[in-house]
Amino acid sequence: MQYGICNLSIVPLRFEPRDPSEMVSQVLYGEHFKILEIRKKWSKVRLAFDKYEGWIDNIQYVKITEEQYKKFEQEPSVFSGDLVEFITCDQNELMPIPLGASLLALDLLQHEYEGHKIGQKQPKEHLVETAMMYLNTPYLWGGKSNFGIDCSGFTQMVYKLNGYSLLRDASQQATQGEALSFIEESQPGDLAFFDNEEGNIIHVGIIMKDNYIIHAHGKVRIDRIDHTGIYNTERRTHTHNLRVIKRII
């Protein structure tokens, strides 16, 4: 088995080993992973954080040893805590990194960082405060940063920045936590999941107080939520059908 780490700001994780292939997720600066397969131009990887798999370009990561990989697994997580910060690279060159980039490999990569850091598990009430940092971020299928994010990437990153682990896709996240019977039982920070006509989970958002929800739909936005689902006041219609509310914390 071989191992690697992302040494760039944001790298696309693709469904197939080719540039036009669908971006299923992103690898942020400092994320480490196992390398499952290496081809001439592409590598299939499995991310350490959520075990998500996909293909990345061979020139968009650096290899690390098994010992270094295991060390990262054992060390407490530390993330960049600002919307945009900078890493100082070789010859004092600057590289921007997004909110939630991992800072564990700074010494290994010989990079320097002087910005705000997040490293301790936060109380549940801090989730909504973190979610507000992504407000108005444009929707991007497969995105995980404040430059573009999808619904499950949004919930995963908010929880990650507060010290909690969520799986990558909405349908996967829906398998976690404890289901609530009624919306009145929900608390700020709980997750609401929504399905399509076939009954498949296709959307997720974070419950706020007073029957509001923050979620990524066109952009990260705040809407009303009721027993039916998400109500968009601008369009005067329900846009998502509520399936279940889950308590993760």
- Would you name the residues annotated as active-site residues? 151, 203, 215
Tokens found for residue 134: 């992504």
Helix (H) or strand (E) holding 159: helix 151-161
Of residues 50, 6, 22, 24, the one with CA closest to residue 156: 50
CB-CB contact of 84 with 98 (8 Å) = yes
Tokens found for residue 44: 């299939």
CB-CB contact of 212 with 225 (8 Å) = yes
CB atoms within 10 A of CB 61: 22
CB-CB contact of 215 with 207 (8 Å) = no
CB-CB contact of 167 with 173 (8 Å) = yes
